[in-house]
Structure 1
Amino acid sequence: MIRTFNLSTFHTICDELAAADADLAGIIDIYGYPPMWSRPNTFETLVHIILEQQVSLASALSALNKLRERIQEITPARVLLLTDEELKACYFSRQKTAYTRYLAEALLSKLIDLEELAALPNDEIRSKLTALKGIGNWTVDVYLMFVLQRADIFPIGDLAAVNALKKVKNIPAGTSKEELAAIAKAWQPYQTVATMLLWHWYLKGRNPAVPFP
């Protein structure tokens, strides 16, 4: 069964999680419900997620906006017309230039079809996307959570989510990823929505003015 969530169920799921977990209830009490972050199932969205790898959200968005300014519509064909220097001028690193080109070629050649991906189980999506250069588990987690609204993902490679989990649950800093993933399983089958509550806490506590995603 592919379990998803949407705007009509999001607050109900938040309430269910809060009823079972006092720490998540506390986040809602202090900051209210998180936004239901979502993105369209497009090449541009995947480029955006690639740009977000290991940099600030603001830096990634700046690069995406610069690319959009240069080519108007971010499509595989238009990106492949750009030279390395043109992409560098859009703040793309050498690695992210290569990853974005590889993704564009995969979509144009039909190696990957985003509409078809949307109908597949999480594990199959992960297998297909991680076969592409530059796409790892964190990128797939964000895609599953924000684009396909898959309900039961905890992105163990996301520092903000992991740090928020440690703080909210008062977990020792040296706790292993395996132990953290096991703790997050208490939120099944809605680990994605629980993670959005953690991100909400993290962002509000750090700087309420920072947009996300």
Structure 2
Amino acid sequence: MPVAPTVQDIAAAREALAVADPALARAHAQTPVFEWRLRPGGYEGLFRMIVEQQVSVAAAASIWARTVAGLGGSVTPEAVLGQDAEGLRAFGLSGQKVKYGQEIARAQVEGRVDLQHMQTLSDEDAITALTAIKGVGKWTAETYLMFCEGRLNVFPGGDVALQEAMRWADRAELRPNEKQAYVRAEIWRPYRGVAAHLLWGWYGGVRRGEIALEDIGL
């Protein structure tokens, strides 16, 4: 079973990141201690991440609650495949998310992916296995491995909030694109996932007005 990094693990990783890359030192100094909140994984965890994309937090919670209830309290590949598309759409799922949920379920049932034992794969192999499923993009695969498996070195370079926080850290005029973000994050190995959490926390604090940034062209 995946185990979330402890507060001590995260603190040590943050210190190492700040030493390895002075650009992260300010984010580290300004961002409070945070925990790594591990979400349920497996089929349920991946399907839920798909359901929650591109909707508000409140809408995602409502749709997911209806989905769980509609499936009898157990979100399994078998339960999803036991419903037709219209039955799943009745829970509030879009047609596209129904297709993706069914495709992930078929991949699990047919043995094309083993979501219960992804931790036996390296980060790279796990991302490859997940993105081979129709509907699972690289960002989804990376965030699943971070939030559902607690992987410390996975970095979703395509995340716009991370890219913006990276711009602030480097005091750059332009936000890095996905390719540039991956290259920039190489110095953060083996704690790229902790760097992502740190930058997200910093970004959120700035956006909420809790953290002030000096003028860097924002």
- Following superposition, the deviation at residue 47 of structure 1 comes to 0.7
Q: Flag the 1:45–1:108 CA change in 2: closer, same or farther, 3 A.
A: same
Map 1:23-102 to 2 at 5 A: 23-71=23-71, 72-102=73-103
- With the length of structure 2 as denominator, give the TM-score of the two structures: 0.82
Q: What are the superposed Cα offsets for residues 124-167 of structure 1, whole Å, 9 maximum, x if unpaired? A: 21222111110111111112212222222221121221222223
1:178 aligned residue: 179
Counterpart check, 1:6 vs 2:13? no
Task: Answer with 199-208 or 45-54: which moved more.
Answer: 199-208
Q: What are the superposed Cα offsets for residues 18-62 of structure 1, whole Å, 9 maximum, x if unpaired? A: 233444333343331232132233211101121233444444333
- Following superposition, the deviation at residue 106 of structure 1 comes to 1.7
Q: Which amino acid aligns with 1:30?
A: Q
Q: What are the superposed Cα offsets for residues 100-133 of structure 1, whole Å, 9 maximum, x if unpaired? A: 0111122222222223322011222122211111
Take 1:185 and 1:57, find their aligned partners in 2: how far apart are those partners? 32
Question: What is the aligned-residue RMSD (CA, Å)?
Answer: 2.4
Take 2:175 and 2:61, find their aligned partners in 1: how far apart are those partners? 32
Q: Flag the 1:60–1:170 CA change in 2: closer, same or farther, 3 A.
A: farther
1:131 aligned residue: 132
Q: Flag the 1:62–1:29 CA change in 2: closer, same or farther, 3 A.
A: farther
Kindly indicate whether structure 1 or structure 2 has the higher relative contact order, using CA contacts under 8 Å at least 6 residues apart.
1
Identity of aligned residues (%): 32
Q: Flag the 1:58–1:141 CA change in 2: closer, same or farther, 3 A.
A: farther
Counterpart check, 1:18 vs 2:18? yes
- With the length of structure 1 as denominator, give the TM-score of the two structures: 0.83
- Following superposition, the deviation at residue 207 of structure 1 comes to 4.2
Residue pair 1:14, 1:33 contacting (<8 A) in 2 also: no
1:105 aligned residue: 106
Residue pair 2:166, 2:175 contacting (<8 A) in 1 also: no
Q: Which amino acid aligns with 1:119?
A: T
